[in-house]
Amino acid sequence: MSIQTPTSPERGDFIREIVAADVRAGRTETVVTRFPPEPNGYLHIGHAKSICLNFGIANEFGGRCHLRFDDTNPEKEEQEFIDAIEADVRWLGFDWGEHLHFASDYFEQLYAWAVDLVRAGLAYVDDLSADEIREHRGTLTEPGMNSPWRERPIEESLDLFARMRAGEFPNGTRVLRARIDMAAPNINLRDPVLYRIVHAAHPRTGDAWCVYPTYDFAHGQSDAIEGVTHSICTLEFEIHRPLYDWFIENLPVPSRPRQYEFARLYLTYTVLSKRVLLRLVNEGHVRGWDDPRMPTISGLRRRGFPAEGIRDFAAMIGVAKSDSVVEVGMLEHAARDVLNRTAARRFAVLDPLRVVIEDYPEGQVEEMEVANNPEDPSAGMRKVPFTREVWIEREDFMEEPPAKFFRLAPGREVRLRSAYFVTCREVVKDAAGEILELRCTHDPATRGGSAPDGRRPKATLHWISAGHAMPAEVRLYDYLFSRPDPGADGRDLFADLNPDSETVLQGALVEPALADVPAGETVQFERLGYFTPDPDSTSGHLVFNRTLTLRDTWARLQAQGRHDTA
């Protein structure tokens, strides 16, 4: 069950208002929704919006939400996707209880209803080819033409349909069509196809069938069978609603579901098209469906995004009917908000620079007490070893610091977090001028990180004892696409791929406590951002993925070129 951000059922989005009104008017006793993925790919953040909507409504109204796979096209669907989808929905925090369903569970009933339609003169077997059907369909502005088989005797259609099921005909030779109106302005009503012949093994029903219902014929009836009261889908199905209703009205279904449509999610710097995601995976642009750069649920999980942050994001963006593009920044905000509250703080140095504290006793090791999470005192403290030689971040030192650079510089004193104040006395370089190490001194009176005389350095740095540091690989991630609107204006989508979306750092060093971060946990590397162990990580070779950076005023100033080198 989720901890959805509370929304007043009376004053939520337009769908919640409809549900609330239906409940109030007694049109439904129990609210039943469903999340209906086709198992032909992995779930992405757009699906998360739908999942949160459907399960959220069911939870809020004390109803239930089914997980139903729309598995009516065996040529594209796979068990792998079914398994991954179940795992992703569960990870997001939702529970379908006993209600795991498949459209394929209803194939027999659906077939029987198709036969009913034929008997009623409302459907017929058409011998036209796919091309001929298209030619007969007409265009957006011209009506279609009736198929020559439209008036074929009911008995003949019945016989042919039975033989289609029996496997007597090859793919594409015949279809079952509804008999509605070839001149309907809504093209979906121009005798839509109900059944097609597909000789292919189905992940669930194997080769029990060689005729499969289309989405239009399967979806609403599946809803009706399950007692779904509110069938919520995205806008592109709006035009299908008259057909959805037509089936419900012309078939002896056990309940009367209603379809409602909302705008699907679009995100800047992101592509949410299964077709494109599939290509990114198949063409090797990413490490797989769960690549940390992918907008898939599994990718976000591997990246270290908390499920709660994704739920919060869904609540934040709302539900409406106008097409819109949400800034990824909102997703990031939602994730940071959760992570700031919950992530344990740790020290890690991505690009190490050696600091020798000349006046610190050689061989001495002090266990410094460091807060695990200043936002959450209950997270407690940990001990971090401090010695004469420590690593700091190379970018935390500048030999000739510009005006607004507050960190370490020659002669300047800074705080090593929860340890000591140190002052840079000397910069040691090699023949090429590359900085090898910094020679510093410390103030013993500042042990623990604060000075008795109350002086306060402008900067606090994270650090790692040289003798205790553990090597780690760190993978830095940026947007997969370098433009907010990938592929817009006719550009090739793949030309918009960000060449720097992944940067692998091999020389990072982390504090000992980072050796055993459990999989699935995201921690904060102080001052750097949030990181999570990658599945590739082993005790012998630590690997961390950067989930997000922290908000960084200095970086922003630099990017704006607002600092001068004075």
Partner RNA sequence: UGGCGCGUGGCCCAACGGUAAGGCACCUGACUCUGGAUCAGGGGAUUUCAGGUUCGAAUCCUGACGCGCCAGCCA
Catalytic residue numbers, as ranges: 38, 264, 274
Q: Which of 78, 86, 137, 227 binds RNA (CB under 7 A)?
A: 137
Query: Scanning the structure block, which residue is given the tokens 């990246």?
Result: 303
The site map against RNA for 202-231 (x = CB under 7 A) is: ----------x-xxx-xx------------
In the region spanning residues 164 to 183, those forming contacts with RNA, defined by CB under 7 A, are: 171-175
Smallest separation, CB 346 to RNA (Å):
10
Cβ proximity to RNA: between 96 and 169 the closer is: 169
Residue 147 interacts with RNA (CB under 7 A): yes or no: no
Stretch in the footprint of RNA (CB under 7 A) among 52-60, 94-102, 107-115, 549-557: 549-557
Residue 128 interacts with RNA (CB under 7 A): yes or no: yes
In the region spanning residues 264 to 303, those forming contacts with RNA, defined by CB under 7 A, are: none
Smallest separation, CB 258 to RNA (Å):
14
Residue 134 interacts with RNA (CB under 7 A): yes or no: yes
CA distance 207 to 230: 33
CA distance 70 to 88: 17
CA distance 173 to 181: 22
In the region spanning residues 3 to 42, those forming contacts with RNA, defined by CB under 7 A, are: 11, 13-14, 17, 36, 38
Residue 465 interacts with RNA (CB under 7 A): yes or no: no
Q: Which of 5, 8, 186, 503 binds RNA (CB under 7 A)?
A: 186
**462 Cβ partners below 8 Å, 6+ apart?**
347, 348, 349, 392, 393, 416, 417, 525, 526, 527, 528
Q: Where are the beta strands (DSSP E) in 296-377?
A: 324-326, 345-346, 348-349, 352-357, 366-371
End-to-end distance of the chain based on CA atoms, in angstroms? 57
Cβ proximity to RNA: between 445 and 495 the closer is: 445
How many helices (H) and strands (E) are present in the chain, helices listed first?
A: 13, 27
Smallest separation, CB 412 to RNA (Å):
11
The site map against RNA for 442-461 (x = CB under 7 A) is: ------xxx-----x--xx-
Residue 256 interacts with RNA (CB under 7 A): yes or no: no
Q: How large is the C-alpha radius of gyration of the chain?
A: 31
Stretch in the footprint of RNA (CB under 7 A) among 132-140, 471-479, 491-499, 534-542: 132-140
Residue 129 interacts with RNA (CB under 7 A): yes or no: yes
Stretch in the footprint of RNA (CB under 7 A) among 79-87, 191-199, 299-307, 537-545: 191-199
Q: Which of 375, 399, 426, 521 binds RNA (CB under 7 A)?
A: 375
Beta bridge partners of 524: 345, 530
Smallest separation, CB 83 to RNA (Å):
18
The answer to whether 229 and 33 have CB atoms below 8 angstroms apart is yes
Smallest separation, CB 377 to RNA (Å):
12
CA distance 228 to 63: 10
DSSP character at residue 497: B
Residue 381 interacts with RNA (CB under 7 A): yes or no: no
Cα→Cα distances 109→159, 166, 217, 508, Å:
18, 16, 12, 60
Work out the angle between the directed axes of helices 45-60 and 307-317 (0-180°, nearest 10): 80
Using CB under 7 A, count the residues that bind RNA.
Answer: 92
Residue 200 interacts with RNA (CB under 7 A): yes or no: no
Structure token pair of residue 409:
């510089």
In the region spanning residues 314 to 373, those forming contacts with RNA, defined by CB under 7 A, are: 316-327, 329-330, 333, 336-337, 340, 345, 373
Residue 235 interacts with RNA (CB under 7 A): yes or no: yes
Cβ proximity to RNA: between 502 and 526 the closer is: 526
**Signed CA dihedral, 388, 389, 392, 397: sign only:** positive
In the region spanning residues 383 to 422, those forming contacts with RNA, defined by CB under 7 A, are: 404-407, 415, 417-418
The answer to whether 251 and 117 have CB atoms below 8 angstroms apart is yes
Give the length of the chain. Answer: 566
Pairing of strands 258-262, 230-234: parallel
Smallest separation, CB 296 to RNA (Å):
16
